[in-house]
Amino acid sequence: MDKNYWTLDRLGRLYKDWDPQVLTDLSAQVAKSKWRPGYHITTKTGLLNDPNGFSYFNGQWHLFNQAFPYGAVHGLKSWQHNVSDDLIHWRVVDKPMVPDIYSDRNGCYSGSAINVDDKLFIMYTGNTFEGSEFTRHPYQDGAWMDADNNIEKLAEPLIADSPSGVTGHFRDPQIIKHDDYYYAFIGAQTVDNTGEILTYRSRQVDSGWELYKKLDLGTDNLGYMAECPNVGFVDGKVVVIFCPQGADKAAFHYDNVHPNAYIIADELDFSAMKLVNPSPMQQLDEGFDYYATQLLNAPDGRLLSVGWIGLPDTEYLSDQDGWEGELSMVRELHISNGSLVQSPVNELETIIDDTPATANDLQRLITAAPLASQFSLYLDSTDSYLHLAYDESDRQWTLVRKNVGEEAVTRSFQGDPSSLSIYLDNSVFEIFINGGKVTMTGQFFHDGKSIQVSTTSMDIKQKKIQNM
């Protein structure tokens, strides 16, 4: 399907109005793709983007994601529903949340979920376009999910419009409970074209939501839109993760089209809705493709995260095969010396095989420790490669990616070396440096046949990872 195929009619067409043969044909096309991941969540067909509704309910982990099954484009969004008993083995529940009411008729956009008694409550942005000018009108909608994974949407929106001074870019609510109130953190854009995070609160999760205060992050460098705000608590601190689109690069350096950022503070003063002693804004990931990270303070005490391995306003080589995007592995977060540390959850060990990996194994774990003062690691296939290097003279880490048929691109940062782990899942890589003090995440489109691994000044181990 070329770009001319995607008319406004097809991009906005209700799912019930599509010919079932389209999915049948697209499934056959996707099945031929040489880049499908093995142990990362993706869609059967079409597009995957933001993770949503990350929660623990009814004895299982639940993780939704935005999806458009009819093509690798940002068409009419629904929520794919994934469940797991162990945060590693995920299955898709065949009960997606699709646009089917007035207030989400142009898409079920990002949101979150919270366990309330014996049900799961979902709060999400319903996207609509109104009038001949197609003016964006967002609604913050609600729904209940029961123990059988049946979702029933509320008849009326929780929040029916953007507040005064805010444009139609008002979305991505994260809902948490603190003392007597439920709070929703919502990304926003002001009429002055600046980003901010607003908070709403209510004593009842499914009604009575009122604008409370703007979240004071200690910085105004939020660009023109602050997407996907999430608040989490760990190690006696508070972490805020968000995506400040258009942030000033002179004050906050990033190379991707849109950044994923975080701030750590001593606490969140709910009465003033202000971070106490906030850190500078920092990059969450130093790689090529990582966005829209969602947090979960889990019942077992861990702070967990998951992100979209992709970026808005970006095309990928897998698009030509009829699919795009994955979710990251679930990560556990901690704080060390004022920085966020991200590591794969311990449950991941259950799918790692001690059998040494070979060039034909496209799911593998590559580890090295300790690291030399200068080294290089190459992952090569025909007309493509990943090259990770460290140079002690300037403490510079450099990651170079060349996809099949594309020019090489580079990401770099400064830091000291101690350990390295690379999780490769066919076309997906997640790199954890120094135990996760730095991560580099992205997609790597190779020849689909084999990946040769070579090094200089480094001893590595390779293990197979079981294809899920």
8-state DSSP, 398:
E
Low-confidence ranges of the chain (pLDDT < 50): none
Question: Counting Cβ atoms within 10 Å, is residue 3 exposed (0-12), middle (13-18) or buried (19+)?
Answer: exposed
Domain limits of the chain?
A: 3-344, 346-465
CA torsion through residues 383, 386, 390, 395, sign: positive
Q: Does the annotation mark 50 as catalytic?
A: yes
pLDDT of residue 133: 78
Q: Under CATH, what is the fold of the domain 346-465?
A: Jelly Rolls (2.60.120)
State how far the Cα of 443 lies from the Cα of 316, in Å rounded to an integer: 9
pLDDT in tens, 62-121: 999 999 999 999 999 999 999 999 999 999 999 999 999 999 999 999 999 999 999 999
Query: pLDDT at position 131, please?
Result: 82
Measured between its terminal Cα atoms, the distance across the chain in Å is: 29
Residue of 59, 67, 138, 133 lying closest to 102 (CA atoms): 138
How many helices (H) and strands (E) are present in the chain, helices listed first?
2, 35
In CATH terms, are 3-344 and 346-465 the same topology? Answer: no
Tokens of residue 119, six digits: 């049900």
pLDDT at 468: 67
pLDDT in tens, 178-189: 999 999 999 999
The C-alpha angle with vertex 335 and arms to 330 and 339, in degrees rounded to 5, equals 100
Query: What one-character DSSP code corresponds to residue 278?
Result: P
Q: Which residue has the tokens 């390295």?
A: 420
Asked if 63 and 73 count as a contact pair (C-beta separation under 8 A), the reply is no
Which of these is catalytic: 50, 285, 380, 425?
A: 50
Say which CATH topology domain 3-344 has.
Answer: Tachylectin-2; Chain A (2.115.10)
Q: Could you give the 3-state DSSP secondary structure of residue 16?
A: helix
365 CB contacts (<8 Å, ≥6 apart)? 352, 357, 421, 422, 423, 424, 462, 463, 464, 465
Predicted pLDDT of residue 173: 98
